[in-house]
Amino acid sequence: MSENNNKVYTVKKIESTSIKETLLKIKDLLNYLFRKWVIICIFGFGGAAVGLIASLLLKPEYKAHLSFALIDNSSGGMGLASLASTFGFGDFGSNEGAFSGGNLLEIIKSRHSIEKTLLTPVSYQGKFQNLVEIYIQFTERRDLWQKQMKNIELRTLSFPVGQVREKFTRTQDSVMESIYKEIVESGALSVIKKDKKTDMVSVDYTSGNELFSKFFVEMLMDETYSFYIETRTSQSRANIEMMQVTADSIKGLYESALYKSASSSQFNINPALQMAAVPKIKQEANVQLYGAVYAEVLKNLETLKLDLAREKPIVQIIDKPRLPLVVIRLRKMKGMMIGGIGGGLLIVFWLLGLLFIKDMMKENEG
């Protein structure tokens, strides 16, 4: 028992000594930094000056905000699928999962949506041009291209309105890809779902050009919704087209049977020639059959069209970007505080690093 007490006492003594040494070490470091207060202050004021200069030189940015709610009116999907399968068509409503949950947010940030947006023509400064041309202008890319020696095509590169995307040159493709990555990877474009319990989505974009920010968010929403509707209802529209072809075909058979029945009725049937009545009977049966099938197909075709209308989701815009947009700039006081704290911390870590290196060298010499 006595040995155990001695061990406990020894461990506590070692822990107490270790804590004391740590506190003394911290005290020595603080004293060391206090003696270097002049250097720390110089770097702190220098960082504050750099922050002030940065706040004066950095250009302001403009944030465009748009929020919307997706209202899904689709209902009775199983009935629609059952109806389509009855006539031997493909699965109905299979595109719904592609746009459920967070997939819609990814579609907004996809290269397809952003490139289509950048290639949307708008009226800007008296000229009708694609959005990408405005982006190239305010990011001063064309000034850099004029100095380009390796790729001569960059000097005169443009994205004219109406140019087919599939006919882009390799250089145009490369520029579009770099702009897409810059927009997405820089964090300038933000697409978030406000609340898991609701379908409200917030789209924000920040750039150095106020009109471009506004145009970009609005056009991006339009392009995304168009792509959403086109893809979401593609199977439905294909089924309606196939059903329409079937209806037209049955209508042709029905009208043909009517004409043949009318011509057969001109025969003067007598008991001696009853066999001559067979064609007339067949034509009348065909008329009744085709008429019943055609009426049923028309009814089902109208049902498909109504289901297609219900299947189309509605995007309810809640907030739209309006001029003037929110201006984001580095204020003077904030710039000085960030610069001052950054400069002070930088010199503190530098001094502590030098002190650590000196202590290591002394230990090696000892």
Q: Among the listed ranges 105-114, 257-266, 305-314, 353-362, which one has the minimum average pLDDT value? A: 257-266
- Same-domain status, 245 and 350: no
| Nearest-angstrom CA–CA distance, 117 and 220 | 5
Tell me: do 125 and 66 sit in the same domain. yes
* Residue 275 pLDDT grade (very low, low, confident, very high; cuts 50, 70, 90): very low
pLDDT at 120: 94
76 and 195 within one domain = yes
Share in percent of the chain as helix, strand, coil (round to 5): 70, 10, 20
| 184 — pLDDT class (breaks 50, 70, 90) | very high
Same domain, 86 and 150: yes
Give me the domain span that covers residue 301.
237-311
Assess whether 128 and 228 both reside in one domain: yes
- Per-residue pLDDT reduced to its tens digit, 106-150: 888 999 999 999 999 999 988 999 999 999 999 988 888 887 667
Average confidence score pLDDT of the chain: 76
Of 17, 209, 205, 231, whose CA–CA distance to 104 is shortest? 231
For residue 95, give every residue at least 6 positions away whose Cβ sits within 8 Å of its Cβ, in sequence order, or none: 231, 232, 233, 234, 235
Q: What is the mean pLDDT of residues 64-74?
A: 78
Does 84 lie in the same domain as 221?
yes
Nearest to 278 by CA among 257, 292, 264: 264
Domain count, the chain: 3
pLDDT at 91 over 60: no
Whether residue 344 is found in the same domain as residue 300? no
